[in-house]
Amino acid sequence: MATKVQKTKKQPAKLDLKGFAKLIDDEQQSLVDAKDVKKVGYICNYTPVELLSAAGVRHSRLIKAGSAKTVSAGELYTQSVFCDFTKSCIGFFQQDDPFYKSFDKVYNFHTCSTMKRASEVIEQFVPTTLLNLPKLRSSEDARNFFREEIVNFKNDLGELTGKPVDDDEVQRQITIYNRARSILKEISELRKKPNPVLTGAEFLDLVRGYYYLPGEKLVTALEQVQSHLEDAPKRSGRPLRLMISGSIMADGDRRLLDILEGELGARVVIEDHCAGVRPFYHSVSEAGDPYRALANGYLDQAPCARMKPLEDGIAFSGKLAREYAVDGVVYVFLKFCACYGVSKKEFLTEFQKQNLPVLELSSDYSESDYGQLKTRIEAFVEVLKERGEVTSHEQHINA
Amino acid sequence: MSNTSTRNSGTDGSAQNGGSKNGAPRTGADSGAVKELAALQKSYSLEKIEGWAREGKSVIWGGNSWEAPLIRSCDTTPVGFAELWKEDSLQAESVAENYHQIPGEFCSMIKAMIGRLHLRKDNAIKRILYFGSTCEPISMVLDHAGRDGYDVHCIDAATAFKVGERRPELVAFLINELQKVALWLTGKRVDEDRLTEELQFKNRMMRKVRRILDLRLKAPFYLSSTPTSQVLLGSTHYFGEREKYERVLDQLIADLEVASAVPEKRFFIPIVLAGGVAGGPKLLKIIEEANGVVLGWVIHSTSDFREDIPPLEAVAHYLFDAQLKGELGEGAGASATLRRRRVEELVDKTNARGIVSSFVTGCPYGSVVQGLERQYFKKKGVPLVGLEHSVHAEEPPTEEQVTRIKAFVEMLAE
């Protein structure tokens, strides 16, 4: 390599999100402490959060990445052949984590088979209900069936709380969450500018709010952040722009971002995974039958690779890469994640068609491979800079 | 539940290969029925099946489990994915890892599947059917098959997660999906009369299979584990020759009725096998060499389709019941937690002293089922040994597999 990547930290000017993070911390603690309300955990983005809010339960997505110890606790049930996210979900329950332990019930719309198995294990710790999620997202029959499952979900929540879920309240929550999704999408799109005002890590910090904060509180907080970001002075220059695509990057799984942004000065401008922008590229119709609207809206969201046809997910990923004018893609799949491990060739082919260099990484939550990971990422970033890829996609910016 | 078993310790060693006092064979080694069964098994090859397709018959990959009667009622032969790894599976796995870039950590089953489908993409079988509630690795590799030019049809995911939950809606949804399968195969809706005939035939076969399994409890040496597994496997595809298969079952029942009339005095350890034997009969042979006899099988369903309701409903209920009993494995979206009920039932019925829980290395379903059952049966005091294996019939058993099985069965003998 002719040019060495600068090893010193190149932290972009930090957006102060401490207040937002504190809101989330307080909310989590408040959920643990709450005595007079039912608490529900859910696993997958295909769970209509509008219904949880309408039912009046405290809720949170079970989205935390565990430590090696937590993963190991999960392995008591799964052996090694599950992804570390799944093992974390089980592991937190096994370890009596106060946050996980506080839930009265867990819901999981059947996404991948591994998560379904994990839900069956989680039922040993907390009452758990699995619900069907059709795979064929465009099929009218699938939409009708999913609507029925959503109504079942609503009824189950009513039984949990002892109070039927009110249709008008569902409608109101649809409006609130549409607003939240819309703001998050708009904030993400600020990153289409050559030198975005927020980093990938900061964006994911905002996304955490979607999973931990109640809808109204979330919208208020996001509106403040959005206003701040829109008023921020334009930055000059153009950092290396990257996209992360693939398996879930759970809350706390920040190793890649730490290296890419914190140590190498690159900027992750878009994340095509289910803890990234995917849930925010859809809205739910605010007219007509709210359960039909939820079924359609959630099946129309940017799809998980589990959904068919797979081409829809690949096309979405390719579209994001173009829209955000990225210079390269880091395709990362959790070890044993079939959705993104088995299908990786198809995703990589799509990026290669766009002449985008791709770094493919198989990941887990261990600490031991940090050095190796960093070396590979460094080499990738170095190659991108040498190839002058930094400028080749600039014409797409703000397209 | 009882975990005590009869310790059979007779001195009648000479009878192992000879006849009993009443002239009935004590082992089936020389039985015409067993030989015919072996011949049927041998004749059911991929080449033969592909020959049917070349002759213009409708043949598909998949659809050979709970949905098989429906597929046959559409004048179509369903071919189990297991045929894909019977031969050349090592080469196929290599194709999957290199061409399809399937990461090494995934199970040999899915890699052999997609690799072999790729290698045979120019062959006569062009259509693939799978069920959306199957595991994601299977579902995802079949996307690769679609890019190889196969016409891949998915029966959308529908799973009964808990007993009594939402059955009418599930049944209605699945019936509609099954109608789509018929339209895909024939351009017409399901011929319910044909389907009823298929279900009745299947039920008749299952009654005979159950009879054979029951008679084996009294005559465990007559039909060893390998032909017994062939009887079970054949109950899904009849080796493509249903009349012959039925004739073999009838003859086996007749032989076993004679053999079981004589009390078995030889020493053996009754075992329940939970999980498949995807790598072929080698693991069964090791169990037998250690004096174990597999009397309980938990992978193939031996249940009947209901005949008191319309046939499509019967197929739907059969599937959802199987899921809740943990039958038919991950391919049918079976419950990981409820399989133990069937295992427990068979431990009681067969007086099994232990359980061999087997799964393909890298299979998430198998690993979690085994983990849950290990905990459960430990509390019940029933010994369980876990066994991992690949699907490669070409590979001999590993030293570890042999040692584990032998040590386990020897421990049970003490």
Please, are residues B40 and B234 in contact by the beta-carbon 8 Å criterion? yes
Task: Count CA within 13 A, CB hemisphere, residue B274.
Answer: 34
- Any chain B CB within 8 A of the CB of A336? yes
Q: What is the arithmetic mean of pLDDT over A13-22?
A: 79
If we measure between CA atoms, which residue out of B112, B135, B96 comes closest to residue B392?
Answer: B112
pTM of the entire predicted model: 0.91
Instruction: Sort A158 into a burial class: Cβ within 10 Å, 0-12 / 13-18 / 19+.
Output: middle
Q: What is the arithmetic mean of pLDDT over A248-262?
A: 96
The answer to whether the peptide bond before residue A309 is cis (omega within 30 degrees of 0) is yes
Average pLDDT score over chain A: 92
Q: What is the arithmetic mean of pLDDT over A346-375?
A: 94
**Cβ atoms within 10 A of the Cβ of B188, count?**
10
If we measure between CA atoms, which residue out of A184, A144, A173 comes closest to residue A56?
Answer: A173
**Cβ atoms within 10 A of the Cβ of B272, count?**
28
Q: What is the pLDDT of residue B30?
A: 76
How many degrees, rounded to 5, is the angle at CA B388 between CA B387 and CA B389?
120
C-alpha radius of gyration, chain A, whole number: 21
Give yes or no for residue A102 having a pLDDT over 90: yes
Q: Which of B139, B169, B336 lies at the smallest CB-CB distance from A117?
A: B336
Please, are residues A308 and A214 in contact by the beta-carbon 8 Å criterion? no
Q: What is the pLDDT of residue B26?
A: 59
- Letter for the amino acid at A122? I
Percent of chain A with pLDDT over 70: 93
**Cβ atoms within 10 A of the Cβ of B157, count?**
27
Residues of A within 8 A of B132 (CB-CB) are 134-136, 308
Q: What is the arithmetic mean of pLDDT over A247-268?
A: 96
- Any chain B CB within 8 A of the CB of A390? no
Q: In what order do the strands lie in the sheet with A328-334?
A: A267-272, A241-246, A328-334, A358-363
* β-strands B151-155, B127-131 pairing: parallel
CATH of span B46-192: 3.40.50.11890
**Cβ atoms within 10 A of the Cβ of B16, count?**
11
- Any chain B CB within 8 A of the CB of A121? yes
Q: What is the pLDDT of residue A396?
A: 39
Residues of A within 8 A of B333 (CB-CB) are 113
If we measure between CA atoms, which residue out of B248, B239, B201, B300 comes closest to residue B83?
Answer: B239
Q: What is the arithmetic mean of pLDDT over B232-245?
A: 94
| A286 to A55, A291, B250: CA distances (angstroms) | 18, 10, 64
Q: Which residues contact A370 (CB under 8 A, 6 or more apart)?
A: A255
If we measure between CA atoms, which residue out of B79, B81, B84 comes closest to residue B95?
Answer: B84
Q: What is the pLDDT of residue A394?
A: 44
Q: What is the arithmetic mean of pLDDT over B118-125?
A: 95
With CB atoms and an 8 Å threshold, state whether B368 touches A121. yes
Average pLDDT score over chain B: 89
Give yes or no for residue B129 having a pLDDT over 90: yes
Name the class of domain B13-42+194-413.
alpha beta
Rounded to whole angstroms, the Cα distance separating B298 from B305 reads 18
How many degrees, rounded to 5, is the angle at CA B239 between CA B319 and CA B329?
30
- Letter for the amino acid at A300? D
Residues of B within 8 A of A123 (CB-CB) are 337
If we measure between CA atoms, which residue out of B41, B371, B90, B350 comes closest to residue B215?
Answer: B350
Q: What is the pLDDT of residue A397?
A: 40
Give yes or no for residue A6 having a pLDDT over 90: no
Give yes or no for residue B15 having a pLDDT over 50: no
Helix H or strand E segment including B293: strand B292-298
HEC states along chain A?
Answer: CCCCCCCCCCCCCCCCCHHHHHHHHHHHHHHHHCCCCCEEEECCCCCCHHHHHHCCCEEEECCECCCHHHHHHHHHHHCCCCCHHHHHHHHHHHCCCHHHHCCCEEEEECCCHHHHHHHHHHCCCCCEEEECCCCECCCHHHHHHHHHHHHHHHHHHHHHHCCCCCHHHHHHHHHHHHHHHHHHHHHHHHHHCCCCCCCHHHHHHHHHHHHHCCHHHHHHHHHHHHHHHHHCCCCCCCCCEEEEEECCCCECCCHHHHHHHHHCCCEEEEEECCCCCHHHCCCCCCCCCHHHHHHHHHHCCCCCCCCECHHHHHHHHHHHHHHCCCCEEEEEEECCCHHHHCCHHHHHHHHHHCCCCEEEEEECCCCCCHHHHHHHHHHHHHHHHHCCHHHHCHHHCCC
Please, are residues B53 and B164 in contact by the beta-carbon 8 Å criterion? no
**Which is more confidently placed, A31 or A390?**
A31
Q: What is the pLDDT of residue B31?
A: 83
Give yes or no for residue A281 having a pLDDT over 90: yes
Confidence of residue A286 (pLDDT cuts 50, 70, 90): very high
Give yes or no for residue A376 having a pLDDT over 80: yes
Q: What is the arithmetic mean of pLDDT over B107-113?
A: 95
Q: Report the Cα–Cα distance between both ends of chain B, in Å, rounded.
A: 21
Please tell me the least confidently modeled range out of B57-61, B90-94, B296-300: B296-300
Instruction: Sort A103 into a burial class: Cβ within 10 Å, 0-12 / 13-18 / 19+.
Output: buried
C-alpha radius of gyration, chain B, whole number: 21
Which domains, from first to last, does chain A contain? 18-396 (3.40.50.11900)
| A256 to A230, A245, A370, A379, B153: CA distances (angstroms) | 27, 12, 9, 14, 38
Give yes or no for residue B1 having a pLDDT over 70: no
With CB atoms and an 8 Å threshold, state whether A343 touches B105. no
Residues of A within 8 A of B170 (CB-CB) are 132
If we measure between CA atoms, which residue out of A361, A114, A336, A146 comes closest to residue A245?
Answer: A361
Give yes or no for residue A389 having a pLDDT over 80: no
Distance from CA of B102 to the nearest CA of A (A): 5
| Closest B-chain CA to A83 | B364
Interchain CB contacts (distance < 8 Å): A and B: 136
Place of tokens 């075992």: B271
Q: What is the arithmetic mean of pLDDT over B156-169?
A: 88
Rounded to whole angstroms, the Cα distance separating B80 from B61 reads 6
Q: What is the pLDDT of residue A139?
A: 96
DSSP B42: H
Confidence of residue A15 (pLDDT cuts 50, 70, 90): low
Confidence of residue A395 (pLDDT cuts 50, 70, 90): very low
Distance from CA of A155 to the nearest CA of B (A): 12
Please, are residues A158 and A164 in contact by the beta-carbon 8 Å criterion? yes
If we measure between CA atoms, which residue out of A92, A47, A51 comes closest to residue A73?
Answer: A92
Give yes or no for residue B22 having a pLDDT over 50: no
Please, are residues A113 and B364 in contact by the beta-carbon 8 Å criterion? yes
Give yes or no for residue A13 having a pLDDT over 80: no
Please tell me the least confidently modeled range out of A31-40, B204-213, B280-289: B280-289
Confidence of residue B25 (pLDDT cuts 50, 70, 90): low
Rounded to whole angstroms, the Cα distance separating B384 from B347 reads 11
Interface-testing mutation among A342, A362, A363, A364, with chain B (most B C-beta atoms within 10 A): A342
Helix H or strand E segment including B292: strand B292-298
Q: Which residues contact B202 (CB under 8 A, 6 or more apart)?
A: B68, B69, B235, B305
Q: What is the pLDDT of residue B165?
A: 78
How many degrees, rounded to 5, is the angle at CA A89 between CA A183 and CA A339?
70
Confidence of residue B41 (pLDDT cuts 50, 70, 90): very high
Q: Where are the domains of chain B?
A: 13-42+194-413, 46-192
Please, are residues B223 and B295 in contact by the beta-carbon 8 Å criterion? no
Please tell me the least confidently modeled range out of A178-182, A388-392, B11-15: B11-15
Give yes or no for residue B363 having a pLDDT over 70: yes
How many degrees, rounded to 5, is the angle at CA A352 between CA A346 and CA A358?
90
Give yes or no for residue B113 having a pLDDT over 70: yes
DSSP B331: G
Q: Which of B100, B141, B161 lies at the smallest CB-CB distance from A130?
A: B161
Q: What is the arithmetic mean of pLDDT over A102-131?
A: 95
Helix H or strand E segment including B243: helix B242-259
Do domains B13-42+194-413 and B46-192 share one topology? The answer is yes
If we measure between CA atoms, which residue out of B82, B3, B96, B74 comes closest to residue B41?
Answer: B82
Task: Note the pLDDT tens digit of each residue in A288-297.
Answer: 999 999 999 9
Confidence of residue B301 (pLDDT cuts 50, 70, 90): confident
DSSP B356: E
Assigned token pair, B71? 């597929």
Please, are residues B93 and B85 in contact by the beta-carbon 8 Å criterion? no
**Cβ atoms within 10 A of the Cβ of B379, count?**
7
Assigned token pair, B400? 């570890």
- Please name the residues between 60 and 89 in chain A that touch chain B, using a CB distance below 8 Å: 76-82
With CB atoms and an 8 Å threshold, state whether A113 touches B136. yes
* β-strands A128-131, B292-298 pairing: unpaired
Give yes or no for residue A22 having a pLDDT over 70: yes
Give yes or no for residue A219 having a pLDDT over 90: yes
Q: What is the arithmetic mean of pLDDT over B258-264?
A: 89
Q: What is the arithmetic mean of pLDDT over B47-64?
A: 95
Q: What is the pLDDT of residue B278?
A: 64
Bridge partners of A268? Answer: A242
- Letter for the amino acid at A350? E
Confidence of residue A14 (pLDDT cuts 50, 70, 90): low
Please, are residues B339 and B326 in contact by the beta-carbon 8 Å criterion? yes
Helices B225-237 and B32-43: crossing angle, nearest 10°?
A: 50
Helix H or strand E segment including B386: strand B384-389
- Letter for the amino acid at B344? E
Give yes or no for residue B388 having a pLDDT over 60: yes
Helix H or strand E segment including B294: strand B292-298
Q: Which of A78, A148, A339 lies at the smallest CB-CB distance from B364?
A: A78
Distance from CA of B350 to the nearest CA of A (A): 28
Q: Which of B135, B170, B362 lies at the smallest CB-CB distance from A113?
A: B135
Interface-testing mutation among B139, B152, B361, with chain A (most A C-beta atoms within 10 A): B139
3-state DSSP assignment of residue B135:
coil
DSSP B63: -
Give yes or no for residue B128 having a pLDDT over 70: yes
